[in-house]
Amino acid sequence: MKILLVGAGLSNAVIGRELASAGHSIVIVDSRSHIAGNCHTERDRETGVLVHVYGPHIFHTDDKEVWEYVNRYSAFKPYTNRVKTTVKEQVFSLPVNLHTINQFFEKVMRPDEARVFLESKADTSIEEPKTFEEQALRFVGRELYEAFFKGYTQKQWGCHPNELPASILKRLPVRFNYDDNYFFHRYQGMPEHGYTKLVEKILDHPNIEVILNKKFERGDGAEFDHVFYSGPLDGYFNYELGRLGYRTLDFERFTFDGDYQGCAVMNYGEESVPFTRITEHKHFAPWEEHDKSVCYREYSRACGKDDIPYYPIRLVKEKELLAKYVELAKNQQKVTFVGRLGTYRYLDMDVTIREALDTAREFLLCMKNGRQM
C-alpha cells in the first residue's frame, strides 16, 4: 500500500517505520526544514553544544518496550533531570521534596514530621481537587503554592491556576525524602547524539521517503491508500470551526564563557520575572565537554496564527471545540489523526511512541483482516 504520513515527528517516524518494515511504501512530508518535530536537536554553530531547539526534552518511561524501541535506534546516555527554581532570591530544588520543604520553612524535619507539618498547611476542606489551584492548596498548602506554582503557572498558561485542571499539577510529585529526580520512571536518559539523529535512524528504511519543506494540502492524500496526519487537528479542516488554543514559546538565546547556572533547567517561580525558565543546554549532555555555554530564556504566550503550537490548552472552551473537530475527524475516510497536535493532547515522548506503536499494529491488523481503520 502507498501511505502518506503528514509530519515527521516521533509519532509518524514510528508508524512509518513499522509500516515500512511490513512492506508498505511510505512518504513522509513535513512543512519544516528538519525532521523530529518539536524534539528536534541540533549543534549550536557558535558553541558546538547540542541544543534542544524547541525546549528541553528528557526521555523517561516505565514502558519497557518503548525503552527498548528507542535504544534500538540510538545509544542512550544516563541522564537524571534535576530541576531548580529561583524564588525570593533563593534557589530551591524541585519537585517539592524534603530539602525544599526544610529550606523553605527553615526547619530540620524528618520525613514523618514534614508530612504532618505539610498536612497542617494543607486545605483539607478540599476533598476532590478539580482545579490546579485546589490540587496545590490541598497537597502543599498556600505558601508553597504561591512560591513555586502560582506565578510560574500563570506565566506558562496565561491564566489563573483556578481555571486549569488539577491534572496539570498531578504531573509533579511531592516527596518526603531528598530524592530530587524530577521523574519517577524506571528508565530515563538522553539519546547520545540527540533526538533528530534518533528519528533519522528510525526513518532510515528503503521503503521510506522523506520530503521536507512541503506544506500538506488536503488533496495530497488522494493518490494514497491511507493518510496518518500528525499536524494540528483544526488545521486539517482549515480551521473551519475556529482555532483550538495553544501556548507557544519564544526563546531568547545567549552565550556565556564557562558555566552560566550550573544546571540544565532553572525555573523562575515569580510572576515579576517575565520568563518561565532558563535552560543551559550543555548540561543536557553532561558526557560532552564545552568551554562555552549556550542558554535559552523561555517565554510562554498565546499561540498566534503563524506561530509554532506547543502546549494544547484544553480548557472547557477548547474541549467543546475539540469535540466538534473529533466528530469531523471520525467522518474522514482513510485518515488517522495521531500525536500531540493531531489529537490535541499534552503527550510525553514515551506515550507518543507507545500510541504510535499501537496505532501501527492496529492498522496492520485491519489490513490483514480486510477492514478499514
Phi-psi region of 139 (alpha: psi -120 to 50; beta: other; left: phi over 0): alpha
**Is 175 a catalytic site residue?**
yes
Q: Which of 69, 149, 195, 325 forms a contact with ligand UDP (CB under 6 A)?
A: 149
Phi-psi region of 3 (alpha: psi -120 to 50; beta: other; left: phi over 0): beta
Residue span binding ligand UDP (CB under 6 A) among the ranges 8-16, 102-110, 164-172, 194-202? 164-172
148 lies in the site for ligand UDP, by CB under 6 A:
yes
269 lies in the site for ligand UDP, by CB under 6 A:
yes
Three-class DSSP category at 284: helix
Q: Which of 109, 172, 241, 367 forms a contact with ligand UDP (CB under 6 A)?
A: 172
In whole angstroms, give the CA distance from residue 37 to residue 212: 11
Q: Which is nearer to ligand UDP, 73 or 148 (CB)?
A: 148
Q: Which residue among the candidates 17, 138, 247, 340 is catalytic per the annotation?
A: 247
In whole angstroms, give the CA distance from residue 191 to residue 218: 34
User: Least separation, in Å, of the C-beta of 318 and ligand UDP?
Assistant: 16
In whole angstroms, give the CA distance from residue 288 to residue 76: 13
Q: Which residue among the candidates 43, 72, 110, 171 is catalytic per the annotation?
A: 171
Q: Which of 26, 168, 278, 322 forms a contact with ligand UDP (CB under 6 A)?
A: 168
Q: Which is nearer to ligand UDP, 237 or 251 (CB)?
A: 251
In whole angstroms, give the CA distance from residue 126 to residue 140: 12
Residue span binding ligand UDP (CB under 6 A) among the ranges 66-74, 96-104, 150-158, 209-217? 150-158
135 lies in the site for ligand UDP, by CB under 6 A:
no
User: Least separation, in Å, of the C-beta of 267 and ligand UDP?
Assistant: 4
Q: Which is nearer to ligand UDP, 48 or 173 (CB)?
A: 173
**Is 327 a catalytic site residue?**
no
Q: How buried is 262 (Cβ within 10 angstroms: 0-12 exposed, 13-18 middle, 19+ buried)? A: exposed
In whole angstroms, give the CA distance from residue 69 to residue 14: 9
208 lies in the site for ligand UDP, by CB under 6 A:
no
Residue 333's contacts (CB-CB under 8 Å, 6 or more residues apart) are 372
**Is 348 a catalytic site residue?**
yes
In whole angstroms, give the CA distance from residue 225 to residue 27: 11
Q: Which is nearer to ligand UDP, 172 or 367 (CB)?
A: 172
User: Least separation, in Å, of the C-beta of 170 and ligand UDP?
Assistant: 9
Rg of the chain over Cα atoms, rounded to whole angstroms, equals 22
267 lies in the site for ligand UDP, by CB under 6 A:
yes
153 lies in the site for ligand UDP, by CB under 6 A:
yes
Residue 368's contacts (CB-CB under 8 Å, 6 or more residues apart) are none
Grid cell, residue 370, equals 480486510
Three-class DSSP category at 192: coil
**Is 325 a catalytic site residue?**
no
Q: Which is nearer to ligand UDP, 156 or 293 (CB)?
A: 156
Q: What are phi and psi of 47, to 5 degrees?
A: -105, -20
Grid cell, residue 206, equals 528503503
In whole angstroms, give the CA distance from residue 30 to residue 18: 19
Three-class DSSP category at 327: helix
x/- letters, 216..255, toward ligand UDP (CB under 6 A): ----------------------------------------
171 lies in the site for ligand UDP, by CB under 6 A:
yes
Q: Which residue among the candidates 179, 209, 318, 348 is catalytic per the annotation?
A: 348
Q: Which positions are catalytic?
A: 171, 175, 247, 277, 298, 346, 348
Chain residues binding ligand UDP by CB under 6 A are 85, 94, 148-149, 152-153, 156, 168-169, 171-172, 267, 269
